[in-house]
Amino acid sequence: MSQEKSALGAVLGWLSSLKLTLVLFFALAAASLIGTLLPQEISLPELREHFSPAMASLINFLAFNDLYHSTWFRILLLLLCTNLVACTIERFPKTIRLLRRFETPFDSQKLSKFGLSSSIVAALPFERTQSVVESAVCETFGRMCRIESEPTGEIGPFCAVSETGRWSRLMVYMVHLSVLVVLVGAFAGSYLGFKGSMNLIEGETSDKVMLTEGESVTELPFALRCDKFEVSFYDTGAPKEFKSDLAVIQNGREVLKRSIIVNDPLTYEGITFYQASYGTYLKQAEIELTDPDSGKKIAMTLPFRQPVTIPGTNDQLMIAEYQEDLMRAGQAIELVYGKQGRQSSAKWILIDRPYHGNRIENYLVRVTKTDKAKFTGLQVKKDPGIWLVWAGFTLMTLAIGLTFYSSHRKLWVCIEPDKKRNKTVVTLAGRTSRNAQAFEEQFEALRSSLENRLKNPSDPL
């Protein structure tokens, strides 16, 4: 039984250790680093194009090609959260005890043993000394001054404590909590929401979003229509603004109309549309096929992504892709050749340049006309966790600042009459949770102020 307990205790001890925190920070840094050196979100076949088959398989096996979403990376993050929670559970009770107003009795001898302590001999009588000290301490600690005195019989030693900033000891827990809040918000967003894109030609209405992950399509509970898209340029040629005039259609009615630009998205029912890009959309192209053997020319009109049977044959052609600038060679379309319903070959055809590679199967291809339209590229996102993330960020900002720049400062005072020499002895001691230098300066200022005020018998209060 005790063996099990000590094993469990050892595991818990390791989970709440600072050493584990360090190991995890370094591990996460190293892992993140690897991810920036290798191409990310790349499939195994694509990997094989750039690495040897053995290397490609290794990278794929270790999930280095999608590192940040891999299981082991998530385990590292989960371990960090666990470590954080374990450390908090272990250290929080001690902090609470520190914060409780529980003072062990002390006297001037105990105070003189403090790291920061000082003794002043006052020329004033006991009561005057006490009121001078009380007001001086209140000045130093501002309005947070709370002096509690132990009940004494007569004019005996007067001992008191003043402190400020007790709440600052909780700030470090706030920082760690904020990290957890952000991570929970991030996970909620990625599991409960989605990210995708939607391209709308001017005038088009759509309720379908092409998801980034999995390349599937999701349907929205409402539709979006793009009435107009405008792009303006500076005289330098750089883009000045992309603007889309959008309308939200729900149940056949127009419920919202708004223009969006980059950095100013539209949100409706928890789904946000961001102006991300724009482009040219190929509606259809007219091509001319030439059979090099017979010299016969065939003209065809190919609507975008619709297979069309080549006249006089059982084969089909389809434009699968259109690019405005394929590797700096200008406009291009990807033609797919289908034999009996199955793709037999695919080829990129340059539109603007005469190119010996403009051929598919046995035909030479020439694009004679293109029919284009502008479309607006929108990023679409549903993120139920985002408010948690923002809350976490806000908390983190406040908490980091306050962790570093606030401190729990305590001042102990003991005033005793010295009947032999007819004077009063004041003993001061102080302690701070951080920012020792600033506190030392404050302590020294209090000490010298008290020294001045306590030596002059005619000092007006």
Partner 1 sequence: MTSSLLLGLTTFAYLLCTVLYLSGTIFQYKPLLGAGTISGVAALSMQTAGIGLRWVESYRLGYGHAPLSNMYESLVFASWAIMIIYLVFEWRVGQRALGVFPALFSFLAMAYASFSKDVDSKILPLVPALKSNWLIAHVMTCFLGYAAFAVSFGLSLLYLLRIRFPQNPNPRSGFVALLPSASQLEWFSYQMVLFGFLWLSVGIITGSIWANSAWGTYWSWDPKETWSLITWFIYAALLHARNLQGWKGPRVAWLSMIGFGCVLFTYFGVNFLLSGLHSYAR
The CA radius of gyration of the chain, in Å to the nearest whole number, is: 37
Closest CA to 270 of 222, 308, 211: 222
The footprint of partner 1 on residues 260-279 (CB under 8 A) is 261-265, 272, 274-276
Q: Is 284 in the site for partner 1 (CB under 8 A)?
A: no
The footprint of partner 1 on residues 153-212 (CB under 8 A) is 186, 195
Q: Is 401 in the site for partner 1 (CB under 8 A)?
A: yes
Query: Applying CB under 8 A, which of residues 68, 72, 92, 387 lies at the interface with partner 1?
Result: 68
Query: Applying CB under 8 A, which of residues 209, 326, 360, 389 lies at the interface with partner 1?
Result: 389
- Is the distance from CB of 129 to CB of 456 less than 8 angstroms? no
Q: Segment contacting partner 1 (CB under 8 A): 107-115, 149-157, 257-265, 341-349?
A: 257-265
Q: How far apart are CA 189 and CA 387, in angstroms?
A: 10
In the complex, what is the shortest distance from the CB of residue 121 to partner 1, in angstroms, rounded to a whole number? 31
In the complex, what is the shortest distance from the CB of residue 131 to partner 1, in angstroms, rounded to a whole number? 35
Instruction: Extract the tokens encoding 382.
Output: 């549903």
- The smaller minimum CB distance to partner 1, of residues 32 and 152, is found at 32
Binding mask 99-138 for partner 1 (x = CB under 8 A): ----------------------------------------
Query: Applying CB under 8 A, which of residues 349, 396, 415, 450 lies at the interface with partner 1?
Result: 396
- Is the distance from CB of 118 to CB of 428 less than 8 angstroms? yes
In the complex, what is the shortest distance from the CB of residue 377 to partner 1, in angstroms, rounded to a whole number? 11
The size of the interface with partner 1 (CB under 8 A), counted in residues, is: 51
Closest CA to 87 of 181, 13, 10: 13
In the complex, what is the shortest distance from the CB of residue 403 to partner 1, in angstroms, rounded to a whole number? 9
Q: How far apart are CA 165 and CA 98, in angstroms?
A: 12
Chain centre to alpha carbon of residue 276 = 20
In the complex, what is the shortest distance from the CB of residue 236 to partner 1, in angstroms, rounded to a whole number? 6
- The smaller minimum CB distance to partner 1, of residues 104 and 236, is found at 236
The footprint of partner 1 on residues 4-43 (CB under 8 A) is 18-19, 21-22, 25-26, 28-29, 32-33, 35-42
Query: Applying CB under 8 A, which of residues 6, 205, 397, 456 lies at the interface with partner 1?
Result: 397
- Is the distance from CB of 345 to CB of 361 less than 8 angstroms? yes
Instruction: Extract the tokens encoding 132.
Output: 């001078």
The b-or-e profile of 305-332 (16+ CB within 10 A means b, else e) is eebbebeeeebbbbbeebbeebeeeebb
The half-sphere exposure of 376 on its side-chain side, counting CA atoms within 13 A, is 30
Q: How far apart are CA 259 and CA 272, in angstroms?
A: 13
Q: How far apart are CA 368 and CA 266, in angstroms?
A: 40
Q: Is 325 in the site for partner 1 (CB under 8 A)?
A: no
Rounding to the nearest 10 degrees, give the CA dihedral for residues 343, 344, 345, 351. -60
Rounding to the nearest 10 degrees, give the CA dihedral for residues 197, 198, 199, 205. 180
- Binding residues for partner 1, rule: CB under 8 A, are 18-19, 21-22, 25-26, 28-29, 32-33, 35-42, 50, 68, 186, 195, 234, 236, 238-242, 261-265, 272, 274-276, 379-381, 386, 389-390, 393, 396-397, 400-401, 404, 437
